């Protein structure tokens, strides 16, 4: 067990770390295409995720004005519809809200609940404010505060997004722990002085040998064990 001391506030990434984003997108695509075979659905999920990744990178590089995830997800849904031959606008609109209906991992709800009795717990997500509100409700995630990158008009790993959490925490960065299943996210948090904990998930971005995060955990139970003594 790894112990992390002198933490005042715990900050969580949401997409991928606490909820299964690829499976939620796949579920929305299957709803729109009930006869689709799994390989075809997987290819459409990859198309969706690649569109989101590319557009957020363009925004980060100053090559595109900021657009929130609702707008970019609508573009991704349209790209999927064009590839799959979906023409019903109501079906496409429903598919575009997939990011608001993502199931939590098995330990997410109980892990957050346990930690929330010992620390202020903040969600810090690339999801838009409206999408994050509905996602939190759907997944049953308990927060003391949920922050959207939309407030900074940027996407992680831009430093200004992590500063939203630091401003909310109101304490020194080294007393704020960022938890994520994405190494790139934790590197961004390190850049503003936050402590870091990698949590392994079936999806995400595993650490490289060169990464120096404060701790690695198999899930939220191990994380909570390291942070609290019930």
Q: Which residues pair with 124 in a beta bridge?
A: 147
Distances, alpha carbon 111 to alpha carbons 33, 101, 124, 159, in Å: 34, 20, 16, 27
Return the pLDDT at 1: 44
pLDDT in tens, 204-228: 899 999 999 999 999 999 999 999 8
Average pLDDT, the chain: 95
Return the pLDDT at 204: 85
pLDDT in tens, 125-172: 999 999 999 999 999 998 999 999 999 999 999 999 999 999 999 999
Return the pLDDT at 127: 97
Name the nearest CA neighbour of 56 among 26, 28, 76: 76
Name the nearest CA neighbour of 217 among 142, 105, 85: 105
Of all residues in the chain, the percent with pLDDT exceeding 90 is: 95
pLDDT in tens, 18-60: 999 999 999 999 999 999 999 999 999 999 999 999 999 999 9
Q: Is the pLDDT confidence value at 14 over 50?
A: yes
Of all residues in the chain, the percent with pLDDT exceeding 70 is: 98
Q: Enumerate the H helices of 61-197 as residue ranges.
A: 69-84, 89-96, 108-116, 129-139, 159-169, 183-190
Banded pLDDT at 230 (limits 50, 70, 90): low
Banded pLDDT at 2 (limits 50, 70, 90): low
Which residue reads 């002198």 in tokens?
6
Q: 204 — alpha (psi -120 to 50), left (phi > 0) or beta?
A: left
């Amino acid at each position: 067990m790894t112990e992390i001391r002198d933490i005042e506030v715990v900050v969580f990434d949401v997409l991928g770390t606490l909820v299964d984003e690829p499976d939620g997108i796949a579920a929305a695509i299957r709803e729109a295409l009930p006869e689709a075979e799994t390989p075809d659905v997987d290819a459409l999920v990859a198309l969706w995720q690649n569109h989101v990744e590319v557009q957020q990178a363009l925004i980060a590089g100053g090559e595109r004005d900021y657009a929130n995830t609702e707008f970019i997800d609508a573009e991704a849904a349209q790209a999927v519809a064009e590839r799959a031959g979906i023409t019903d606008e109501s079906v496409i609109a429903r598919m575009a809200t997939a990011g608001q209906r993502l199931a939590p991992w098995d330990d997410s709800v109980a892990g957050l609940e346990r930690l929330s009795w010992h620390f202020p717990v903040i969600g810090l997500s690339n999801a838009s404010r409206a999408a994050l509100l509905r996602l939190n409700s759907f997944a049953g995630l308990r927060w003391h505060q949920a922050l959207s990158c939309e407030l900074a008009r940027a996407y992680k790993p831009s430093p200004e997004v992590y500063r939203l959490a630091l401003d909310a925490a109101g304490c020194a960065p080294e007393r704020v722990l960022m938890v994520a299943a994405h190494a790139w996210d934790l590197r961004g948090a390190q850049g503003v002085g936050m402590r870091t904990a990698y949590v392994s998930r079936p999806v995400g971005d595993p650490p490289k040998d060169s990464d120096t995060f404060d701790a690695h955990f198999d899930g939220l139970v191990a994380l909570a064990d390291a942070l609290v003594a019930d």
